[in-house]
Amino acid sequence: MKNVYYLVLGILFLISGCAKNEKEAPEPVAKGPVAKVVPKVLEMHGDKRVDNYHWMRLSDEQKNAASPDAQTQDVLEYLGEENEYLQEATKHTTAFQEELYTEMTSRIKKDDQSVPYNENGYSYYTRFREADDYALYCRKALTENAEEEIMLDGPKLAKGHSYFGMGSRSVSSNNKLLAYAVDTVSRRRYDIHFKNLETGLLLPDVLTNTSGGATWANDNKTVFYTVKNPETLREYQVYRHVLGTDQSEDVMVFEETDETFSCGVYKSKSKAFLMIYSYQTLSTEFRYLDANNPEGEWKVVQPRERNLEYQPQHYGDHFYIRTNLDAKNFRLVKTPLEATTKENWADVVPHREQVYLQEFELFKDYLVLEERKGGLTHVKVQPWEGESYYMEFNDPAYLVSLTTNLDFNTQNLRYNYTSLTTPWQTSEMHMGTKEMQLLKQQEVQDVTFSPDNYTSERHMATATDGTKVPISLVYKKGTQKSASTPLMLYSYGSYGSSSEATFSSTRLSLLDRGFIFAIAHIRGGQEMGRDWYEDGKLLKKKNTFTDFIDCGQYLIDNGFTSSDHMYAMGGSAGGLLMGAVLNMRPDMWNGVVAAVPFVDVVTTMADESIPLTTFEFDEWGNPKNKEYYDYIKSYSPYDNVTAQDYPNILITTGYWDSQVQYWEPAKWTAKLRALKTDDNIIVMDCNMENGHSGASGRFERYKRTALYYSFVLDLEGMGASIKD
């Protein structure tokens, strides 16, 4: 294949943002690669779709082959041309990208350390040496003058790998052995290794094709782990491994045969039980086993049922269970260990219509609830005997969340707090006296930074159907709100994952240049409770897209910005959001950043061999059902690209992405470029070494963030230093 590369020359950056800022336009660049057209007819329910770029899809076998076949060569050539075009089209911002990267990484404390937590006689923490991209994983015995033990040297382990991802780490009950997982491909398939912490030597045992976690039985020699289907990457089997034996001898103790479920294994906080969990969007099921008897019989807490979700925690003679049984916003129940099925569940915290129970934590003297109401998170402390109370916070938009609390007997509650203007804090509160102690605050390494220099606000936009949708926004004091003010609108809006109002030091590079940053808390998340999620999925998915558009319109109507200066950004399922709003309201944005976007929804959801597909039928719908097929097709970004003007678009992907396969963004890029009727720019960055989460390491990832920011800042004619 040879694409018609750099087909037509044109001036791509003479857009309104540059003109209005009276900035000199960059040199003309080419229109970009034109992908070859190989029509493939895809038929379902008598409906035919023609996909001109279906040829871009490669199997894992093709990608991993020692030498590429003709199709693979065509794909690699096209992706290479897209990357070359990106470099050509953005070469005038190369120095600015480097400046942004330096600016963002200079705010990060280089010799940083996490807050230690205590477990089983040791204090555990991670720390970074100043120049290192990867962490040291350390511990100290809880004895006087104990010396630091470096259990794992991240920089040493990562050496020689273009990608290095550390999975879970777990220490045996006798504190002598460490299990840790590593991914060097970025497909989220981990190898588990074992290290003797007394001698520093690695054991010969290696467990391959795992989900990255190893759970120890109490005998210090048996571990349980989950393996993945090699094609779909679904976590579907749990195995028992005994140290000193080959993986081929491991015993499968559980197999999840329902392809819409995945599974995993962990140990209870009490250390008394091993737990296997099966889960999908609408249902969960848990099994438990005495951790002292790893070869014993697993028992089911409550058999799975459609639309029944539950998560148990063990304490004393009971399981405490968060469940949606007769409780859309979830309630907390408890049940005796000898009678765990639902007919024995008794309320501890009943269901509340306006309060979503998100998490809970058990202590000897207290029950702590993490709740969500009014679109914000709250922490409620409830003594087993006495009056309950809520922790109080003053920011208009913020996130508070429970963190590592391993000790049942403590009076201290550890939690995280952040807001759009407050760097991340880890604190402890004495639950009896309410006395608080700050353990660590994110340090922004910039002498000019102060939270007082920024303002956050919370607004409510009215959606098309009358629903009130929250918007959180932040800007630097002194920023004028007007039709010429640049604004970035961000959201996600799927899987019940809420877009939280949290602090970002990288975002300062936008705020300090006069941008307003806004978060649309749209349906599909759970900001406003379980109904918020239910009203943004399946046959109500379009609410997610119209909410985002309505939030954008609110910001325009209320004088925060205008369509000439408004930008949108989202990633993964948030990239689907970007694709949908681009088709629905392309005129609303001057530029859009779509990171690893899930855009070919019909084709992907109809192909059960693609990773995650079967697991997500209850999120998007199964297109084998015509009602879902028609509905998904009506919004699928790839299927709805049409001949119209589109704004400037930056698309990113990773060749090894296991969550959203690279060919979705690549096909979308090609189709957009073929059909659009404007002179705006479309560029795609395909990282050939990484997957869904981008580059590994704490600094390298900011190079892509610098690309995002330089793209929109350049469109605004702001491609210069803050000092200029």
How far separated are the first and last CA of the chain, in Å rounded? 46
Distance separating alpha carbons of residues 289 and 309, to the nearest angstrom? 20
Residue 2 confidence (pLDDT) above 70:
no
Q: Which of 427, 509, 692, 714 is catalytic?
A: 692
Average pLDDT, the chain: 92
190 residue type, one letter = Y
Distances (CA, A) of 368 to 240, 266, 409, 433: 34, 22, 13, 15
Query: Which residues span the domain enclosing 276?
Result: 134-363
* pLDDT at position 29: 53
Residue 402 confidence (pLDDT) above 60:
yes
Residue 3 confidence (pLDDT) above 60:
no
* pLDDT at position 187: 79
What are 302-334's pLDDT values in tens digits?
A: 999 999 999 999 999 999 999 999 999 999 999
Q: Which of 419, 505, 572, 710 is catalytic?
A: 572
Domain contains 440: no
Half-sphere exposure of 211 (CA within 13 A, CB side): 22
- Percent of the residues in the chain that have a pLDDT greater than 90, as a whole number: 85
Cβ contact 652:665 at 8 Å: yes
What are 469-491's pLDDT values in tens digits?
A: 999 999 999 999 999 999 999 99
Backbone angles phi, psi at 331, to 5 degrees: -135, 170
* pLDDT at position 17: 34
* pLDDT at position 694: 61
Cβ contact 650:707 at 8 Å: yes
Distance separating alpha carbons of residues 220 and 118, to the nearest angstrom? 19
Residue 128 confidence (pLDDT) above 90:
yes
Residue 454 confidence (pLDDT) above 70:
yes
Q: Locate 62 and state its tokens.
A: 């093709």
From the list 151, 146, 185, 179, the residue with the least C-alpha distance to 165 is 185
Residue tagged 């220099």 (tokens): 453
Distance separating alpha carbons of residues 293 and 449, to the nearest angstrom? 55
CATH number for 291:
2.130.10.120
Cβ contact 425:419 at 8 Å: no
692 catalytic, yes or no?
Answer: yes
Burial 128-137 (b: 16+ CB within 10 A, else e): beeebbbbbb
Cβ contact 638:646 at 8 Å: no
Domain contains 206: yes
Cβ contact 103:509 at 8 Å: yes
172 residue type, one letter = S
Burial 465-498 (b: 16+ CB within 10 A, else e): eebebbbbbbbbeebeeeebbbbbbbbbbbbbbb
* pLDDT at position 88: 95
What are 408-444's pLDDT values in tens digits?
A: 999 999 999 999 999 999 999 999 999 999 999 999 9
Distance separating alpha carbons of residues 651 and 669, to the nearest angstrom? 8
DSSP E strand stretches across 482-606: 487-490, 516-520, 566-571, 591-595
- Which residues, at least 6 apart from 10, have a Cβ–Cβ distance to it below 8 Å? 28, 30, 31, 679
Backbone angles phi, psi at 668, to 5 degrees: -60, -45
Q: Which of 183, 657, 685, 714 is catalytic?
A: 657
Residue 580 confidence (pLDDT) above 60:
yes
From the list 31, 49, 82, 6, the residue with the least C-alpha distance to 665 is 82
Q: Which element (helix H / strand E) includes 477?
A: none
Distance separating alpha carbons of residues 181 and 195, to the nearest angstrom? 11
Cβ contact 526:532 at 8 Å: yes
Cβ contact 602:635 at 8 Å: no
* pLDDT at position 324: 97
Distance separating alpha carbons of residues 139 and 145, to the nearest angstrom? 13
What is the dihedral sign for C-alpha 233, 238, 241, 246? negative
Q: Determine the distance from the C-alpha atom of residue 101 to the mean position of all C-alpha atoms in its chain, rounded to a whole number.
A: 22
Domain contains 252: yes
Domain contains 58: no
Domain contains 275: yes
710 catalytic, yes or no?
Answer: no
Q: Determine the distance from the C-alpha atom of residue 175 to the mean position of all C-alpha atoms in its chain, rounded to a whole number.
A: 32
Mean pLDDT lowest among 270-274, 578-582, 590-594, 607-611: 607-611
Comparing 516 with 184, which gets the higher pLDDT?
516
What are 294-309's pLDDT values in tens digits?
A: 999 999 999 999 999 9
What's the number of domains the chain is made of? 1
Distance separating alpha carbons of residues 682 and 704, to the nearest angstrom? 16
From the list 10, 21, 9, the residue with the least C-alpha distance to 712 is 21
Distance separating alpha carbons of residues 619 and 612, to the nearest angstrom? 11
Domain contains 328: yes
Which residue(s) pair with 356 in the sheet?
372
Domain contains 573: no
From the list 652, 464, 662, 640, the residue with the least C-alpha distance to 551 is 464
Cβ contact 175:122 at 8 Å: yes
SS3 at position 148: coil
What are 683-716's pLDDT values in tens digits?
A: 999 998 876 666 667 788 899 999 999 999 999 9
Domain contains 449: no
Distance separating alpha carbons of residues 267 and 335, to the nearest angstrom? 19
* pLDDT at position 719: 72
Residue 262 confidence (pLDDT) above 90:
yes
* pLDDT at position 696: 62
